[in-house]
Amino acid sequence: MSATPKKSLKLFSGRSHPDLAEEVAKQLDVTVTPQAAYEFANGEIFVRYDESVRGCDAFVIQSHSQPINDAIMEQLIMVDALKRGSAKRITAVVPFYGYARQDKKHKGREPISARLMADMFKTAGADRILTVDLHTDQIMGFFDGPVDHLFAQTVLSDYIRDNHSDRDITVVSPDSGRVRVAEKWADNLGGTPLAFIHKTRDPTKPNQVVANRVVGDVEGRLCVVVDDMIDTGGTITKATEQLLAAGASDVIIAATHGVLSGPAVDRLSSCGAREVVLTNTLPIPEERRFHNLTVLSAAPLVARAIHQVFEDGSVTGLFDGHS
């Protein structure tokens, strides 16, 4: 008995960000596989797929948006259902990876929750993880299997270059920890100058920042402040105020993940920034949008990466031009 091996790509979506999943499906020219998903009265999540998944190359897309623990648990259950349904390979597509900020211990008796997340995906049955702009690169080493780390900065920097190439641009890191990311941005924009905000943060008080001073040449220049995520907006808006006080002609805020918790919308809309540019790795409902917000789609990037994984191609080639 002999058979010719064939591959079948199936895309599965959790309920946290269905719009992104539909965009990715459209880019791939597939449909999202139908499923039944609901909660029992006590909050337990149930998932069952409406068609066979045996032998398929499964991609389970779920962005860990609020309520974040529900989104994570739902994706883990979806992966487990695929494993028990005999899917051939399971890729957890996580545009925003929850708990990524907890990637190391600042003090004793603290968890490393980003590692716990990786362990849970491995236990559930994920063979690989595909994610966008992790908080730190070291998280890739937490998962015992392939991790495809996509960089949305290419999407963001292309937008800045296409719309502001006639300006004198300085790329600004909101703290010293993001300088390497700012360097990559500067390269993408053709070697623009760099600056950063020297700040202090009390690790015992989350989301509270004290901005100190600007280091670098920003006077009379368009400053692009770059970060991986905006949560409450405290860091990025204080940086914007410091840059304007230091003589910057304009400030554009650019980040991949718009968490936008609590006072973020009020802070961002009133901090003096000319524009706030985010991607749609996380859902941004209409009530959280404001007049100077621009949202770019990460779907083409994610779809190209999924296609490369399915075809056993090079994901790295999407960024450095070499397959």
Residues 122, 143: Cα–Cα separation, whole Å: 7
Pick from 240, 239, 237: which is nearest to 260 by CA? Answer: 237
State how far the Cα of 79 lies from the Cα of 134, in Å rounded to an integer.
21
- Please pick, among 10, 83, 107, 199, the residue that the annotation labels catalytic: 199
Q: Among all chains, which residue has been given the structure tokens 């590692």?
A: 115
Phi, psi of 320 (to 5 degrees): -105, 0
What is the phi/psi pair of residue 180, to 5°?
Answer: -65, -35
- Bridging pattern class, strands 35-39 and 45-49: antiparallel
SS3 of the chain: helix, strand, coil, percent, to 5: 35, 25, 40
Q: CA-CA distance, 79 to 12, in Å (whole number)?
A: 10
**Structure tokens belonging to residue 105:** 């211990």
Q: Is residue 7 annotated as a catalytic residue, yes or no?
A: no
Residue linked to tokens 């979506």: 13
255 closest CA partner among 235, 241, 270: 235
Taking CA atoms, 191 is separated from 155, 184, 249, 285, in Å, by: 17, 9, 19, 35
Question: Which single residue is written with the structure tokens 């149930």?
Answer: 46
Task: Give just the sign of the alpha carbon dihedral 107, 96, 132, 162.
Answer: negative
Q: How far is CA 219 from CA 193, 208, 224, 249, 250, in A?
A: 12, 27, 13, 7, 10
Instruction: Give the residue numbers annotated as catalytic, written as ranges.
Output: 199
